[in-house]
Amino acid sequence: MHESIIKFLEKQNKIKRENRRQFLLDNNICERIYNPVEDSEYSEEYPFRDRDTNKWYKKEPLDVTDEEFELIQKAYNEAHTSEKPESNVVAIIFIIFGWITLIAGLIESLAAASDDKGKTFIVSLFIIHFAFTILSSMIYFGFGEVIKLLHSINNK
């Protein structure tokens, strides 16, 4: 076999091994190796802390065979293809409040910027009122998005 083909195949195998290792680590298919030094501090080598024992550890992926890895990937794919995004009622309520605030604020801004008879319209007054409306509604939208993200992190 040609030398460049051998180098290419070696490089692809290295990438494949690293992807496999990362997949196992990401899915917590690993063992904990604790720092042998008692009362140790954080280090690059042992970046995780066990809150129960208060010891630092590192994760090493389990040594699985190719057949086991295929089964793990198959189970992972089945679990993640059937997942439907869960909705959070609180997040939806915040987003609805955001829209209500935006629509009501637009109406209020239009009413505040026009005089009693509706013949004149003060643009600067409208802009000031509507700026506060946008700010208020963005706070509601922001809280809704934060709650969605926290909910999705909690479900992982």
pTM value > 0.85: no
What is the structure's pLDDT at 152? 85
- Mean pLDDT, the chain, rounded, equals 89
**Ranges of H-type helices in 58-118:** 66-81, 89-113
Mean pLDDT of 5-24: 92
Nearest to 62 by CA among 54, 53, 71: 71
- Domain co-membership, 63 together with 108: no
Quick: pLDDT tens for 18-32: 999 999 998 989 999
Take residue 106 and report the two structure tokens written for it. Answer: 């637009």
- pLDDT value for 85: 59
Q: What is the model's pLDDT at position 53? A: 87
State whether 42 and 70 are in the same domain. Answer: yes
- Domain range for residue 130? 89-155
Burial class (CB in 10 A: 0-12, 13-18, 19+), 75: exposed
Q: Among 81, 110, 135, where does a domain finish?
A: 81
Sheet with 48-50, edge to edge strand ranges:
30-34, 55-61, 48-50
Query: Do 93 and 65 fall into the same domain?
Result: no
Are residues 72 and 134 both part of a single domain?
A: no
Number of Cβ within a 10 Å radius of residue 92: 13
**pLDDT for 54-105, tens place per residue?**
889 999 999 989 899 999 999 988 887 755 556 789 999 999 999 999 999 9
**Eight-state DSSP code of residue 57:** E
Is the same domain home to 112 and 143? Answer: yes
Pairwise CA distance, residues 101 & 87, whole Å: 22
Residue 76 and residue 98 in one domain: no
Number of domains forming the structure of the chain: 2
**What tens digit of pLDDT does each residue of 123-143 get?**
999 999 999 999 999 999 999
* Residue 116: other Cβ atoms inside 10 A: 6
Residues 19 and 67 in one domain: yes
| 77 and 94 together in one domain | no
